[in-house]
Chains A and B, each alone.
Chain A
Amino acid sequence: MDYTNLAYVLSAVLFILGIKRLSSPKTARNGNAIASTGMLVAIIATLISFDLLDYKLIIIGMGIGGIIGILFATRVEMTQMPQMVAIFNGFGGGASALIASAEYLSNYQNNSLSMFLVITITLSVFIGTLTLTGSFIAFGKLQGFISGQPILFPGQQPFNALLAIGIVVSSYLLASGNLDNLNTFYAIIAISALMGITLTIPIGGADMPVVISLLNSYSGVAASATGFVLMNNGLIIAGALVGASGLILTNIMCKGMNRSLANVIFGAMGVPEEASKSSGKQINIKSSTTDEAAMILDAADKVIVVPGYGLAVAQAQHAVREVAEQLEKMGKKVLYAIHPVAGRMPGHMNVLLAEANIPYEQLKDLDEVNSEFEDCDVAIVLGANDVVNPAARHDTSSPIYGMPILDVDKSRTVIVNKRTMNPGFAGIQNELFGFDNTVMVFGDAKEMLTTLHKDLKEL
């Protein structure tokens, strides 16, 4: 009986059960504990069943990694979660590439590497290294170390094509038996690292949710490839689960923006900066005050709050909850409408609102909430723009045409809070702001909500 592989099966089962429990916020925390138990089982089984392990090295490595992991996990702000996930993806990909490299470097001389092994090692090194460098660029962009704007240079696409050809050629050389040519192997690492960078820098800040999801998927695929190298079921199964998860999230994010994956990755390169056509239209807006907003809200029965990333930037989540609680005290029904791309990663806005103690039953996603606007008295739009632009429904010339949006304009009144009249990420004017049923309240989201809360209490 092969106890090691039995243990890996057990840990795979625990991972699957753990993810299954993520289907509800009630059981999710328990699910995470189950999945981490699965990891513990896999680690212990590995430690006791392989001979000649360098335990001193392992303890040192786990000690260092553990401390860094704890520091990251306990210090990170919820707004910084996308950066942290990005950098963790990078570590995962990097680990896989390092393991495959170690396998190659210790075996290439004695000709014990089969063609299959060479191919899987190359795959693992390629995906893992690309994930590592790509993730660090994504981290840099999200953290503001690198410009969030797409970074373009002349000949970018031919250069990428050249890199791709370079990878294919060097992989072919390695697989066809030139094993002892270390330079070919190093070339694969170098080209992969470069590709991770050149594929990530042209992607703009607003598209980062797609990139992080994709890199998440890659880190799983890299682990699977390493599993093929080591013939290890534990790595193969866990890697496949993560790969599938990342791919599903990537797909959801692309749908949320009505763009294809190819368009997100290569979009900025092909299209030159085109001035938006609809920006020429003059929009007459009605500017208003919090007093007036409070009076409109006083007359309402049902209120839907639409939070955008601007809300999180202004750190206004707690202020929003105070206003919502006041409204509930006044007998009104309050819901939150969350667009799939409202934050900087899938589900980001939900975490930010949960942090402010907003009960998760009130958080509604796009499909659930759009029918609710029909009989909604007031929709409060906070720091969201493109995701509530009705042009997406009818204006075929709009860059966001076809993107699923929250139908806030169907509410009786829409209160929009913005800092200024500057257009959103897509750089387009929002016709919603000029609608008859829209009232604009300008100012910082947090200050505005705090004043609104006071005004509501004084009614």
Chain B
Amino acid sequence: MDINILTVFILAIFVGFEIITKVPPTLHTPLMSGSNAISGIAIVGAIISTKINSDISTWLGLIAVIFATINCVGGFLVTDRMLKMFKRK
């Protein structure tokens, strides 16, 4: 097993904890929908899996592309829609 990717994973978790604890409760819903959009990064894997040349995998890849795109597009758009509403006096 490649120890490098494990290192990346663990360090990323620490970075995540550091920056996310600084998000104020007021913004927790946009944080959630925004991080939801970020988990749409699965789209990268979905794109790659369309090249695996066997029939069934290609179709699974297509469904994965659809799911992940919904996540990215919907997630970032709805987060923007919410954040637009937060106004100062």
Q: Measured between alpha carbons, how far is A213 from B1 in the docked complex, in Å?
A: 31
Give every chain B residue within 8 A of A12 (Cβ-Cβ). 12
Does A359 lie within 8 Å of B76, measured CB to CB? no
Shortest distance in angstroms between B48's beta carbon and chain A's nearest beta carbon?
6
Q: Which of A50-58, A281-289, A408-416 has 4 or more CB atoms under 8 Å from chain B?
A: A50-58
Q: Interface residue count for A (Cβ, 8 Å)? A: 114
Give every chain B residue within 8 A of A235 (Cβ-Cβ). 41-42, 44-45
Does A73 lie within 8 Å of B74, measured CB to CB? yes
Given contacts A234-B44, A235-B42, A244-B20, contact A65 B70 (CB under 8 A): yes
Does B12 lie within 8 Å of A72, measured CB to CB? no
* Interface check A126, CB cutoff 8 A: no
Give every chain B residue within 8 A of A163 (Cβ-Cβ). none
Within residues 227 to 254 of chain A, which ones have a CB less than 8 A from any CB in chain B?
227-246, 248-249, 252
Q: Measured between alpha carbons, how far is A345 from B32 in the docked complex, in Å?
A: 9
Q: Measured between alpha carbons, how far is A226 from B43 in the docked complex, in Å?
A: 11
Does A245 lie within 8 Å of B70, measured CB to CB? no
Q: Measured between alpha carbons, how far is A42 from B23 in the docked complex, in Å?
A: 25
What number of residue pairs across chains A and B have CB atoms under 8 A from each other?
370
Q: Measured between alpha carbons, how far is A244 from B74 in the docked complex, in Å?
A: 21
Give every chain A residue within 8 A of B25 (Cβ-Cβ). 252, 338, 340, 346-347, 350, 365
* Interface check A18, CB cutoff 8 A: yes
Given contacts A22-B30, A57-B61, A350-B27, contact A238 B78 (CB under 8 A): no
Q: Measured between alpha carbons, how far is A66 from B71 in the docked complex, in Å?
A: 9
Q: Which of A94-102, A170-178, A435-443 has 4 or more CB atoms under 8 Å from chain B?
A: A94-102
Q: Interface residue count for B (Cβ, 8 Å)? A: 79
Does A23 lie within 8 Å of B38, measured CB to CB? no
* Interface check A156, CB cutoff 8 A: no
Does A50 lie within 8 Å of B89, measured CB to CB? no
* Interface check A116, CB cutoff 8 A: yes
Closest residue of A by beta carbon distance from B43: A43
Shortest distance in angstroms between A350's beta carbon and chain B's nearest beta carbon?
4
Does B60 lie within 8 Å of A102, measured CB to CB? yes
Contact with A along B17-33 (1 / 0, CB 8 A): 10111111111111111
Most interface-central of B15, B70, B85 (chain A CB within 10 A): B70
* Interface check A351, CB cutoff 8 A: yes
Give every chain A residue within 8 A of B39 (Cβ-Cβ). 89, 92, 216, 219-220, 222-223, 238-239, 242
Within residues 297 to 347 of chain A, which ones have a CB less than 8 A from any CB in chain B?
338, 340, 343, 345-347
Give every chain B residue within 8 A of A103 (Cβ-Cβ). 49, 52, 57
Q: Measured between alpha carbons, how far is A10 from B51 in the docked complex, in Å?
A: 24
Within residues 55 to 97 of chain A, which ones have a CB less than 8 A from any CB in chain B?
57-58, 60-62, 64-66, 68-70, 72-74, 76, 78, 81, 84-85, 88-89, 91-92, 94-96
* Interface check A203, CB cutoff 8 A: no
Q: Measured between alpha carbons, how far is A213 from B20 in the docked complex, in Å?
A: 13
Closest residue of A by beta carbon distance from B17: A244
* Interface check A28, CB cutoff 8 A: yes
Given contacts A23-B22, A76-B78, A360-B87, contact A15 B38 (CB under 8 A): yes
Does B50 lie within 8 Å of A53, measured CB to CB? yes
Does B41 lie within 8 Å of A223, measured CB to CB? yes
Of the candidates B24, B36, B67, B70, the one whose C-beta lies within 8 Å of that of A98 is B67
Most interface-central of B2, B19, B57 (chain A CB within 10 A): B19
Does B85 lie within 8 Å of A355, measured CB to CB? yes
Shortest distance in angstroms between A12's beta carbon and chain B's nearest beta carbon?
8
Give every chain A residue within 8 A of B67 (Cβ-Cβ). 65, 91-92, 94-95, 98
Q: Measured between alpha carbons, how far is A220 from B37 in the docked complex, in Å?
A: 10
Give every chain B residue within 8 A of A224 (Cβ-Cβ). 9
Does B83 lie within 8 Å of A25, measured CB to CB? yes
Closest residue of B by beta carbon distance from A51: B51
Does B36 lie within 8 Å of A347, measured CB to CB? no
Does B46 lie within 8 Å of A99, measured CB to CB? yes
Interface residues of B (CB under 8 A from A): 1-2, 5, 8-9, 12-13, 15-17, 19-54, 56-58, 60-89
19 CB contacts below 8 A, A to B, read A25-B24, A25-B26, A36-B72, A50-B51, A65-B69, A68-B69, A69-B72, A74-B81, A85-B32, A106-B56, A216-B35, A231-B2, A240-B13, A241-B15, A242-B16, A242-B39, A343-B29, A345-B28, A347-B32
Interface residues of A (CB under 8 A from B): 8, 12, 15-16, 18-20, 22-26, 28-29, 31-33, 35-36, 38-39, 42-43, 46-47, 50-54, 57-58, 60-62, 64-66, 68-70, 72-74, 76, 78, 81, 84-85, 88-89, 91-92, 94-96, 98-99, 101-103, 105-106, 116, 212-213, 216, 219-220, 222-224, 226-246, 248-249, 252, 338, 340, 343, 345-348, 350-351, 354-355, 357, 359-363, 365
Known: A94-B64, A94-B67, A227-B5. 15 other contacts (CB 8 A): A36-B76, A61-B66, A66-B70, A69-B74, A95-B42, A98-B67, A99-B42, A99-B45, A102-B57, A223-B41, A226-B42, A241-B38, A244-B17, A244-B20, A357-B85
